[in-house]
Structure 1
């Protein structure tokens, strides 16, 4: 048999991420799927808790390249932690969106009769992952928008999974300039910064006192006013310290908005 035939395909080739070896789809890649009409069942257990069951067939939005992906017959055990947002349209229909994370607990290769880890190990992995998510939520800044909250900030479902073309459309909506030179991650950061600013409550308006020349004097506008007093170079350096993406293509007004939307946390660097 030739060496090329024995060599693992890209999907099964051993890869590295954060010191951990893995195979399968490369970290950072993404898929788009269509879920055909499925069956969702639910039973109310407490005033706020339901037991759910869902079954359907999912299919690729685009055909898989030849000799890619897992072999037919491969099985997976996923843990899905998600928030379901619904909007009642009429007596019988709800618009539904699920947004969250999924975590691979175990897999069974098509050529094997056993899962890759024991049931005891799977239980341990699930507990560790949920504890990790809980710690992340506890450590989050109180002012930071979180995926489970609603009504307190502008939200776009699946924002982190939007394509560059979709992000460009959103950037035009917010009037972000210099987008032609931005990479996808820079576009994502710029859109997030504008959304955070749009969703932040505006300070209450106070009566304006007239100046001697008869013109009303505007009261200081908090963080934004302090930022506007700085030069563009000073704003750029501050944006660099806070890790704001897309800053090289922002004008002074956009830098002010992005910085005001993402204030520096005491003792921490700002998240992207």
Structure 2
């Protein structure tokens, strides 16, 4: 007797991705809690319309692609749909008349999904609305309960901040630890590396007084002698260097050329390394 072929949805129920799992007493399926993804977004279209002095309506469309290929028979089947609520902080730095460096950081919540083999969403529109309200109320509680002595979520202050730091891989954190000259990293777990890097970023803090008192060049920017780190940084694009300079709160970055950005970043790394060894 011929056994009928399994549908894609049914196949995946026996796979790790769709296996029934538990988290804090509640059942779920899909990607395991604690795992992470990395994606690249194609050049998309962002549209916005100003509704009030501080409020804009936005629309964004693009295709996102995995940074690494998905393993065979993993993930949701082709045709699966999701409805996400995204609560995000967007930081922009103007580069020139037509360009802005953009960083986003926040959370996304699954409101509903529709299986590839189905014709309806898993919950009604009324339930989706209730879930959105619950998620927003959760965010409000977290903001109200946050320690005001610490950098507040979704705010911009003078504290040093590296966007997406909590989502960096262990390999990326090891590269950052090398930049800050952190010792003993070979025995550290990812979470320990993350805390060590955060501590160095906090120590580096705002620019020291000597950063603004160096002898200026004819174009008005402080000059430093090139060193090994600056040479490596020169290999990066200006946009990438500017993003790093924004993360490290380097003042005057909007007026710097590529070489000046590389030297400023190398100088900051050198001082941060000295702080971590002290």
TM-score by length of 1: 0.70
Tell me the equivalent position of 1:79: 85
1:164 aligns with 2:170: yes
Tell me the equivalent position of 1:16: 22
| In structure 2, C-alpha distance between the alignment counterparts of 1:30 and 1:36, rounded to whole Å | 20
Secondary structure (helix, strand or coil) at the match of 1:45 reads strand
Equivalent of 1:65 in 64, 71, 84: 71
Tell me the equivalent position of 1:54: 60
Deviation at 1:165, TM superposition (A): 1.6
| In structure 2, C-alpha distance between the alignment counterparts of 1:74 and 1:6, rounded to whole Å | 13
Deviation at 1:6, TM superposition (A): 8.8
Secondary structure (helix, strand or coil) at the match of 2:106 reads strand
Say if 2:12 and 2:73, in contact at 8 Å, map to a contact too: no
* Greater displacement, 161-170 / 106-115: 161-170
Larger radius of gyration: 1
Say if 1:198 and 1:109 are closer, same or farther in 2 by CA, change over 3 A.
Answer: same
TM-score by length of 2: 0.68
Deviation at 1:200, TM superposition (A): 7.8
1:92 aligns with 2:98: yes
Structure 1: runs of 5 or more not aligned: 203-252, 258-272
Tell me the equivalent position of 2:145: 139
Per-residue displacement from partner, 1:154-184 (whole Å, max 9, x unpaired)?
Answer: 1101001111121112223333221110000
| In structure 1, C-alpha distance between the alignment counterparts of 2:127 and 2:11, rounded to whole Å | 34
Which one has more relative contact order, counting CA pairs under 8 Å at least 6 apart? 2
Tell me the equivalent position of 1:101: 107
Equivalent of 1:178 in 168, 178, 184: 184
Deviation at 1:84, TM superposition (A): 1.0
Per-residue displacement from partner, 1:190-223 (whole Å, max 9, x unpaired)?
Answer: 2122323333899xxxxxxxxxxxxxxxxxxxxx
* Greater displacement, 7-16 / 112-121: 7-16
Say if 1:195 and 1:147 are closer, same or farther in 2 by CA, change over 3 A.
Answer: farther
| In structure 2, C-alpha distance between the alignment counterparts of 1:43 and 1:90, rounded to whole Å | 21
Say if 1:67 and 1:142 are closer, same or farther in 2 by CA, change over 3 A.
Answer: same
Q: How many pairs are equivalent?
A: 206
Per-residue displacement from partner, 1:110-163 (whole Å, max 9, x unpaired)?
Answer: 111111111111111111111111111111111112342223211101001111
Tell me the equivalent position of 1:211: none
Structure 2: runs of 5 or more not aligned: 209-274
Deviation at 1:10, TM superposition (A): 1.4
Tell me the equivalent position of 1:193: 199
